[in-house]
Structure 1
């Protein structure tokens, strides 16, 4: 793994940190590939929760590397888009909840990686935006598809068309982030949230994530059918038996 990305795991919570603070954690090819390797490592380690964040106090991920993109031709741009899409898809399909700890600027590709996460928690100093329009391009790592699924269609269009930047409070009001906390409380808040998730049933959380993701990909009737089958398939598992026994016995469950 490149030295532009840090990977840590403790108490079943994996943390991936983009470590290019001198470049506001912008994503060059090396960093994109290292991030994908880190996501794969978190899966191999069977992390129950994955946290994605950026190094320093200024940026989560300020975006893709514009100095690298400036002279790309169409074929090179396609290959670069594939790298970003592959990473965002790996985050979205990760077999456990993924939490974006947005500690500063999250522009362009940085916001797109946050959109691929399950949950987003922002520092009160964070600023988010799909700013690609001012570069003469559009979002290329998934925002044209994920953002309208998260907020209403017109809000997504306005954010993409105008390239507006939202502070953390406005992003929360639009439903882009779930929590806004004081900057110096972000790490503790995310750690507490991750610990709560890690204590839940691994199999049930994965099933819930898969079922919710289906709602983005299928008509309602197919999604409901998937939910029914997934729900029924959990019965007979250790966690289902243990969870219900613990409820009936008025004790905390001991999930696998």
Structure 2
């Protein structure tokens, strides 16, 4: 059943890619078949986080929850910047009012947690400079494609700050403890090739082929049933907080529940044995 937030946003239906469901906002959402796109865009300045943008991301996630034929989502940006983190107005306001700052940080992290738990694969297509909250949204996505000219880093320490949006937790799980410490403490940027070598990003793309590369990656996912993708994603995400034996026990339980409740699994097995293509699974 859709969430209350999702039901409130049910008016945000999408048709073909190119239609804007959130006109005038900082995130534009569009559809192309089973792919949902979220694109950071604004008329002036650089892409940064605000409460308005967090609202947009939540509406974007509502669409994923509500539109059951969506199989994957791509998050990218226009221009030469992906995202530079929380905007200076929000930071200045927060430094004057720490109660408000705490509310903002809670809201930011709630949205990143929700993105991380999205029921479909999420792909960050990093087109340009990315730092602070920008790397934190990348870390909340499942995989990342990065343009060759892009640079990415945490960079909080360069302003004598520490992360507050998940970098200290998600970055070590992505690239390991020593590299995470180095990247956070140094405050430096990685170039695109380094980011792939370190495991921060999944694939390198020519600048003019970034979106096509992300779409090609998504194409290897979206031919599977949505529930299949969700079940495996939830198990993988939970693996980092569970002992291996407990995780394997959960995997067995979830497998049996899945096979019993989704008949297309049996059909796919029989199709494989008969060397035929399985029937399309809509769930």
TM-score between both structures, scaled by the size of structure 1: 0.94
How many residues matched? 255
Give yes or no for contact 1:20–1:26 (8 Å, CA) kept in 2: no
Mapped to 1, the partners of 2:134 and 2:248 lie a distance apart of 32
Mapped to 2, the partners of 1:180 and 1:152 lie a distance apart of 20
2:33 maps to 1:8: no
Give yes or no for contact 2:71–2:226 (8 Å, CA) kept in 1: yes
Deviation at 1:21, TM superposition (A): 6.1
Give runs of ≥4 in structure 1 deviating > 3 Å: none
Give yes or no for contact 1:238–1:255 (8 Å, CA) kept in 2: no
Give yes or no for contact 2:36–2:72 (8 Å, CA) kept in 1: yes
Deviation at 1:225, TM superposition (A): 1.5
Could you give the per-residue CA deviations for residues 117-175 of structure 1, whole angstroms, max 9, x where no partner exists?
Answer: 11111111111100111222211111110011111101111111111100110000100
Could you give the per-residue CA deviations for residues 93-128 of structure 1, whole angstroms, max 9, x where no partner exists?
Answer: 001111111111111001100101111111111111
TM-score between both structures, scaled by the size of structure 2: 0.86
Mapped to 1, the partners of 2:184 and 2:268 lie a distance apart of 44
Of 205-214 and 64-73, deviating more is 64-73
Of 114-123 and 230-239, deviating more is 230-239
Structure 1: which 5+ runs fail to align? none
Mapped to 2, the partners of 1:233 and 1:25 lie a distance apart of 43
Which residue number in structure 2 is paired with residue 250 of structure 1?
275
Which residue number in structure 2 is paired with residue 63 of structure 1?
85
1:202-241, aligned counterparts within 5 Å?
202-236=226-260, 237-241=262-266
2:116 maps to 1:95: no
- The Cα RMSD (Å) is 1.5
Give yes or no for contact 2:64–2:119 (8 Å, CA) kept in 1: no
Could you give the per-residue CA deviations for residues 73-101 of structure 1, whole angstroms, max 9, x where no partner exists?
Answer: 32222111112111111111001111111
From 202, 214, 223, give the equivalent of 1:199.
Answer: 223
Structure 2: which 5+ runs fail to align? 1-21
Which residue number in structure 2 is paired with residue 161 of structure 1?
185
Mapped to 1, the partners of 2:46 and 2:212 lie a distance apart of 22
